[in-house]
Structure 1
Amino acid sequence: MATQLRNVNDGGEAILQALRNLDIDYVMSSPGSEWGPVWEALARQQVDGRDGPTYLSCWHETLAVDLAIGYTAVTGRMQAVLLHAGAGLLQGSMGIHAAALTGTPMVIMSGEALSYGEDREFDPGRQWFTSLSVVGGPHRLVEPLVKFANQASSPSTLYEQVVRAGELAQRSPSGPTYLSVPIENMMHEWTPPAKMRKAPPAPKTRASDADIEAVAALVAAAKNPVISTESAGGSADGYAALLSLAEALSIPVVEGMVAGVCNFPKDHPLHLGFGPQPALKEADLVLVVKNRVPWYPPSDCPAVAKVVVIDDDPIKDQMVYQSLQADLYLEGDVPTTLRLLEAAVAGAGLDKSAAAERRARAAAAHDALWKANRAAEAASAGKGPIDPAWLCAELSRVLPDDTVYVDETTTHRRFVQSHLQHKGPLSYFSVPSGLGQGLGFGLGVKLANPDRPVVTVIGDGAFLYNPVVQSLGFAKQAKLPTLIVVFNNQGYNAMRNNQLSYYPEGTGKQHNLFLGHTIDAPEYSDLVAPFGGWGRRVEDPADLESAINEGMAAVAEGRTAILNVVIGR
């Protein structure tokens, strides 16, 4: 087993070759002592000038996982994450949960030891005996969060087990997979397979022609159809297919309460806003397109509407409760399904007069909503304290049209949805799962978009949940400058609001005691200085435009920028 002094193929090379054959671009890692064999293989790759994944040392486990999520969200390409033992796996588990919620394919590995110093030829280190090992294996820690969790059980199977984990991650329903890799197996000599193959891409599935024709007949007959979506725009292809279907059939679009991406142009006359909208209540047919939670409470669906769910994975096994109220399913690749449905409705015969009428109704409703949002911005323009609606409007006006926004706001999400004008597919991403992931997600988006400005909008409370030092340090190290805009309402307003909703006339309200609300905050804009970044605090509305421009100038110079905007609500 003792290969550490010999330059031979071992388990580290097996892992790296598997990642090459899975077409992995990056190995994102918060380094742990078990990964010496992989680092050695990466060193040989560099010295030999071989193609293969680039290694990124990420300073923190949550950062490593979120970097992979953000990168895959833009590119659609699965990445690999190496964590440290069970401890690192636990540290990165919030990001792993986010990957599960969003169906982000990812191969995650961490190490373990099997011999605990009893093998006289190889000592993995006493830390595995004293503190790092997990009874039953570290895969037990993440089984609820991943599609597949297992141990790489032998040196002979290690290579194929990594390849299989990658192929499983990409199969519908896509999501993260996990392998625990014993150090002893990585140190063992490895013989490459006689037949070395590139792993093929996962095939796309599609709904049957009969099901598509049945839904086409419903659409053709409907008077008030509505599309409800959360993540149809998760790819440029999905965005284009949804836009084409809605325009061809004159069907208005409502984006979900927790829309995770830009699904449809906000300025389009068929866009009717976010969350519960009158159009849904009045609908006689709802096309639920990649939307896990189209209504809340979950049983509060339109009373008379037929509900058709269009999704590659409609019934989410990672959700504790889900009630789509579906009458029919079109299950398969969503862009393909939308294009086939559009063609089938054309073949079934669309009532053009009815379509024109509903398009006119939708345009009038959109117009009223659009004017109300612009009026809210105008009413608060230039006034102090800075209003979040106007802040979003100013960001939209001043920042370049090709800006990509990453959103980790909570109480301000409704302002971002209504007033921040991102443009085109893959121009907006909201951070899933728990707070504390926005900075890493934003850096992953920047890694995938090196030539586009990336702006992370984030609440002050959410900012504090993030691994801030690690994210700022990694951004400098990896040359990934972004603009971070802190929506600073000087407290955890979500906590205060929840206490009031539970106890509207309670002791907290009577005595102004909201113990979960207080943030004794640092000056956020100062935190970037040790990393050569730019920071500025803004309270006066007159300073906002110049501050945004200064921040973007710093980003153009390759420096991370933090704009701390104090807002009034």
Structure 2
Amino acid sequence: MAENLYNRGGLIEGDGPDRASMSGAEALIGFAKAHDIDYIFCSPIAVMAPLWEAFAAKAIDDGGVESTPRYRNCRHELLAVGLAHGYARVTGKPQIAFLPTGLGVLNGAMGLRSALQERTPMLVLSPDTITYGTDKTCDPGCEWPSLLVDHHGPAAYGQLATKWAREIKMPHELVPELRRGLYFADSIPRGPVLLQIPFELLKNQVPVPREQAFTGSVTVASDADLDKVVKLLAKARAPLVITEHAARSNDQGARAKFLSFVEELGAPVFEFINPTTESFPRSHPLYAPTAVEAHLGEADLIVVAGSNAPWHPPHPESLPDGCVVIVVDEDPLRPRAPFWGYRTDAALAGDICENLQLLSDKLKAMRARGEAPPRNAAHVALWTERNAATRSAKRTAAKNARQKDCVHASRLYAAMNRLLPAGSAVVDEIIASLPLLIEGMFSAVGEGEPQKDFLHVRGWAGALGTGIPVALGCKLALGPERAVCCFVGDGAFHYTPIPACFGFCQQYAVPILIVVCNNRGFVSQSWNIQKYYPHGAAVTSNTFLGADITPTPAYAALAAAYGGHGETVADASQLDAAIGRCLAAMKDGRFAVLDVLCEP
């Protein structure tokens, strides 16, 4: 199998029948091809020379037609990690991010931390050296002993922001550890894995085992544990479901399993205030377009289907006596987090939607045998009516929303809903107007009209600056046929490696639409001042130090420096024409920046 999996032009036979050898860089490319990895996203450093040479040779072998894995140069580590993150969020497939030694891992750590938080698989590689130039045949450069080495090194730094990190030292370890790392990344709970690879291993010969490619397998709860939980479900007369990340928006199979479970249980579905994705269709009658906290007291059973923080605050007294809480997640009770203060009466670990489908099947079978009552039709009718009324009220409020000196965010999202092509991806990195985005982009434009099918991806997980890199990864995954629109707050925009992102768009012709929701400040940073000091000096003098972005930059003007299209809108009547020009630029292969002065 090695000839098919790893060889580009002829193997050098090793010591035994099970092995052959080639340079470590060639072995890495072959490994990626064998394991269906489409991209290697590199933030460059000179010791990647063996990899660049191997890719140049591969291009000659390809005859000018680029084959996988594809190399993409990234001008910032956060961009490389974000591209791998966004690609995996759409496809479910882990990619490779190559970061320059320990310094690069530190610079990309915020993106790695977000991937860990969101259980996004990727294989992160970082070069180092084991000879420091003492071997003249493998000298990494004079900068290494003086500037680029750290006492800790890439693997040690990576331990803080990845699922697993390991330093590779010997040639025979390279390919087995790549396989091991990829397996860990793609096994539940999924997440980023980091391998530290010396320059010497990339340049010199390494043995390549003749082994089949393999990936992680689906993990589900035991039959006995499922039976215990399904008995609790069968007793519920007023259940509700809370989710944040149960299924990727693009994973129709997982979403169908989640839908089957909800409909069999007969429960409304609430989302965490900042959902990772659209796990459950927001047009469904049982989708509750409101906060769950006001309704916790009505429930006799709560299923937390993938949520890091299902309600807030997490006080036990938020729930009525006798209410049962069942947590279904890849890693229930969050072993990688410092806190889990939520009542938990039962937990199922493993693939979330696979476990939910198994529960649905068991509950349906119990009812068919007469061992459990049918779902509570009155409960379903109550929530269907409530949800319809809430949607109607929100739609009316959005239509009537006005701002004197700028665009109300509701008007912005309604216009984008109308004009963005169906099937587009919507990536968000906003805070202040996120509820309006979810309502405006994922509800029907008008009464009786069908809802457009948009793919929703949250572009951040606590740390800002990752939304545009994630959106670019989504675009690579979706291809030229489907548009990608990234809504980013003006505050988040300042944390983003903009030159690197815009340069990537220009270099590789990746056309996305970036909408800057410009409320002229870090608005969310004023909330706690207003909450705890409503009559204090900051409020009475209108001095919100942490929220200030003045003077307001001309964000759209930055696009032209990288061949993009940019414009600014401050009047809702100008929105449709401006959006149309941005979409036209994207059809020409250029990215677009639409700076919208808006509130909130």
Fold shared per TM-score above 0.5: yes
Instruction: String of CA shifts for 1:56-75, please: whole Å, max 9, x gaps.
Output: 00111100100100000000
Which deviates more from structure 2 when the two are superposed, residues 426-435 or residues 27-36?
A: 426-435
Instruction: Give the C-alpha shift of residue 381 in structure 1.
Output: 5.4
Question: Is 1:506 paired with 2:506?
Answer: no
Give 1:339 deviation, angstroms: 1.6
Match of 2:563 in 1: 532
Question: Which residue is 1:492 aligned to?
Answer: 522
1:151 is matched with which residue: 167, 182, 189? 167
Match of 2:303 among 287, 297, 307: 287
1:385 equivalent among 383, 388, 406? 406
Aligned length: 561
State the Cα distance separating 1:136 from its structure 2 match.
Answer: 3.3
Spell out, residue by residue over 1:134-175, the C-alpha distance to the aligned partner (whole angstroms, 9 max, x if none): 103221112121121121111221221122111111121111
Instruction: Give yes or no for the alignment of 1:249 onto 2:268.
Output: no
Contact 2:81 2:108 in 1 (8 A): yes
CA distance in structure 1 between the partners assigned to 2:599 and 2:92 by the alignment: 38
Q: After TM superposition, give the deviation of residue 317 of structure 1 in Å.
A: 2.8
State how far apart, in whole Å, the 2-side matches of 1:277 and 1:77 are. 35
Answer yes or no: is 1:463 the counterpart of 2:493: yes
Helix, strand or coil for the counterpart of 2:207?
A: coil
Deviation at 1:430, TM superposition (A): 4.1
Identify unmatched segments of 5+ residues in structure 2. 1-11, 13-20, 444-451
| Structure 2 residue aligned with 1:3 | none
Residue aligning to 2:118: 102
How far the C-alpha of 1:532 sits from its partner, in A, is 2.0
CA contact (8 A) 1:107 1:177 kept: yes
For residues 237-316 of structure 1, what are the structure 2 equivalents within 5 Å? 237-300=253-316, 301-304=318-321, 305-316=323-334
Q: Which residue matches 1:515? A: 545
Deviation at 1:118, TM superposition (A): 2.3
Structure 1 residues 470-498: Cα deviation after superposition (integer angstroms, max 9, x where no partner): 11110122221111111111111122223
Is 1:39 the counterpart of 2:52? The answer is yes
Asked if 1:550 is matched to 2:566, the reply is no
Which residue in the other structure is 1:364 paired with? 385
1:15 aligned partner:
28
- Aligned-partner Cα distance in 2 for 1:123–1:346: 66
Residue 210 of structure 1: aligned partner: 224
TM-score by length of 1: 0.94
- Which deviates further from its counterpart, 376-385 or 246-255? 376-385
2:17 aligns to what? none
Q: Is the 8 A contact 2:423 2:455 kept in 1?
A: no
Offset at 1:299? 3.0
**Which residue in the other structure is 1:446 paired with?**
475
Residues 275 and 318 (structure 1), Cα distance of their counterparts in 2 relative to 1, 3 Å cut: farther
Provide the secondary structure at the position in 2 that maps to 1:178.
Answer: strand
Query: SS at the partner of 2:137?
Result: coil
Determine if contact 1:62/1:91 at 8 Å carries over to the other structure.
yes
Tell me which moved more, 123-132 or 202-211: 202-211
AA in 2 matched with 1:282: E
Contact kept? 2:122, 2:191, Cα under 8 Å: yes
The yes-or-no answer on 1:197 pairing with 2:212 is: yes
Structure 2 residue identity aligned to 1:460: D
| Range with greater deviation from structure 2 (41-50 or 481-490) | 41-50
Displacement after TM superposition at 1:196 (Å): 3.3
CA distance in 1, matches of 2:457, 2:151: 42
Question: What is aligned with 1:325?
Answer: 343
Say whether 1:82 aligns with 2:113: no
Equivalent AA in structure 2 for residue 191 of structure 1: P
In the other structure, the counterpart of 1:220 is 234
Following TM superposition, by how much is the alpha carbon of 1:266 offset from its aligned partner in structure 2, in angstroms?
Answer: 1.8
Q: Which of 510, 516, 537 is the aligned partner of 1:480?
A: 510
2:437 pairs with 1:416: yes
Higher mean alpha-carbon deviation, 83-92 vs 491-500, is at 491-500
Structure 1 residues not aligned, in runs of 5+: 1-6
1:229-240 mapped onto 2 (5 Å cutoff): 229-234=243-248, 235-240=251-256
- Between the aligned partners of 1:502 and 1:129, the Cα distance in structure 2 is 51
Q: CA deviation at 1:425?
A: 7.4
Q: Using the aligned pairs only, state the percent identity.
A: 34
- The whole-number CA distance in structure 1 between the counterparts of 2:223 and 2:290 is 32
TM-score (norm: length of structure 2)? 0.89
Name 1:395's counterpart in structure 2.
Answer: 416
Task: Output the amino acid matched with 2:35.
Answer: L
In the alignment, structure 1 residue 434 sits paired with structure 2 residue 463:
yes
CA shift for structure 1 position 362: 0.6
* Pairwise CA distance, 1:208: 2.0
Q: Give 3-state SS (helix, strand or coil) of 2:407's partner.
A: coil
Structure 1's 52 and 371: CA in aligned 2 closer, same or farther, altered over 3 A?
Answer: closer
Report if aligned partners of 2:303, 2:328 keep a CA contact under 8 Å in 1.
yes
Amino acid at match of 1:480: V
Q: Is the 8 A contact 2:266 2:375 kept in 1?
A: no
Selected match of 2:42 from 3, 26, 29: 29
1:384–1:541 CA contact under 8 A, matched in 2: no
Q: Which residue of 2 aligns with 1:4?
A: none
User: Could you tell me how far apart the structure 2 residues matched to 1:277 and 1:362 are?
Assistant: 15
Cα distance in 2 for residues equivalent to 1:352 and 1:536:
59
2:8 corresponds in structure 1 to none
Task: In structure 2, give the amino acid aligned to 1:510.
Answer: T
Contact kept, 8 Å, 1:265 with 1:424, in 2: the verdict is no
Distance 1:302 1:174 in 2: 31
**Any conservation in 1 of the 2:220–2:351 contact (CA below 8 Å)?**
yes
Asked if structure 1 preserves the Cα contact closer than 8 Å seen for 2:424 and 2:485, the reply is yes
- Residues 382 and 542, structure 1, Cα contact 8 Å, conserved in 2: no
Rounded to whole Å, the distance in 2 between the matches of 1:410 and 1:504 is 21
Q: Could you say what secondary structure the match of 2:338 adopts? A: coil
Report how far residue 271 of structure 1 moved: 0.8
Q: Which one-letter code corresponds to 1:203 in the other structure?
A: S
Bigger shift: 279-288 or 426-435? 426-435
Which of 158, 164, 168 aligns to 2:184? It is 168
